[in-house]
Amino acid sequence: MGAEGVVVVREFDPKKDVVGVEEVERRCEVGPSGKLSLFTDLLGDPICRVRHSPAFLMLVAEMGMEKEIVGMIRGCIKTVTCGRKLTRNAKSNKPVPVYTKLAYILGLRVSPSHRRMGIGLKLVRRMEEWFRENGAEYSYMATDNDNLASVKLFTDKCGYAKFRTPCILVNPVFAHRVRLPDRVTVIQLAPSDAEVLYRRRFSTTEFFPRDIDSVLNNKLSLGTFLAVPRGTYSVQNFPGSDRFLDNPPESWAVLSVWNSKDVFTLEVRGASRVKRALAKTTRIVDRALPWLQLPSVPELFRPFGLHFLYGLGGEGPRAVKMVKALCGYAHNLAKARGCGVVATEVSSCEPLRLGIPHWKKLSCAEDLWCIKRLWEDYSDGSVGDWTKSPPGWSIFVDPREV
């Protein structure tokens, strides 16, 4: 192969690579086959989607004498829960989290004119080298189940196994505010209270980040919100998460909101003029007759932002209704901040997903997470090979990786 055909993989240089990376992003529209495609604009910072992780890296692939950028990949490393074990204290016998160092691959792009040349494989392998050098035990990636090329690359050539199939649920932000139920009180928790609540109740959930405090205190985190029956607690008399969890109400729910709008914007492409006209009509009618609370379609055919809901959880017979109230609260927050959609990702068997409003056309019923073990180490406390473990009821989706 001549010099003009040699592919060089190196670390992203923000001083000279931004334009080339943006061009590849534009040419690689992302979206499930047969559906409207989503174009992602990273707001001038191609590495911003992993910058908030404890350790991150972005690589680019360049080719030819002109060193044209033809591909890129992003990766990050963090410590998460991969399972749980029981304590040896016979009195408590409570489960405690088992942590592992996990790497995440995202944003793999290869220019359409340079595909089937092994560039994607070369980028993945170089990224995995960095993962191993930094002590990651596992690597995983997420893709749409219909993205056959991506699935084949990772499962057939890179040794990944299909692992989890969560759901991405997306709901439009309407022109009107969602009315919250009178029987529910929503309380915004301080980051310290949110951390206590998450660590006590969700630290054994798969993919729970050990540095949850960093997530909750990040400038992109808009807050953690707790829903309780009206009359139990208020903003003024909330006793703190420890006392709350020692004597919780019969039903409650919690979620946090992440401001992805300040990280990237999205744009729906591929819609016909008829669909665009119908969407515009729903917005006009909704503005003219707001009391009807019509489900209008927001302007999604130009760049729009989103808020991501994470840390979803709750208990009790009315927990689903509490989640629905929190989603309404999050919708109103997104409306006030000019977002086009609210999104979340949950396990396909998550019981609380019934309380999450979403549009099927915008959502993904089966996202696919593939995982690979990078090295073998069955040290004391290990749950064995996480890649072979059965799925649990819930997963914790880190908003820094969205």
Could you give all domains of the chain from N- to C-terminal order, each with its CATH number?
3-164+368-385 (3.40.630.30), 170-355 (3.40.630)
Q: Are 285 and 294 in contact, with CB atoms under 8 Å apart? A: yes
- The predicted-structure confidence for 366-375, as pLDDT tens digits, reads as follows 899 999 999 8
For residue 41, which of 32, 50, 29, 56 has the smallest C-alpha distance? 29
Q: Which residues of 140-179 are buried (b: 16+ CB within 10 A; e: fewer)?
A: bbbbbeebeebbebbeeebebeebbebbbbbbbbbbbebe
User: Phi-psi bin for 171: left (phi > 0), alpha (psi -120 to 50), beta?
Assistant: beta
pLDDT tens digits for range 239-259? 999 999 999 999 999 999 999
pLDDT digits (tens, 9 = 90+) for 117-157: 999 999 999 999 999 999 999 999 999 888 899 999 999 99
Nearest residue to 155 via CA among 135, 134, 140, 138: 140
Q: Is the confidence at residue 30, as pLDDT, over 70? A: no
Mean of all residue pLDDT scores within the chain: 89
Reply yes or no on whether the pLDDT at 34 is more than 60. no
Do the Cβ atoms of 104 and 134 come closer than 8 Å? no
Query: Pick the residue with more confidence: 91 or 157?
Result: 157
User: How many whole angstroms separate alpha carbon 375 and alpha carbon 137?
Assistant: 6
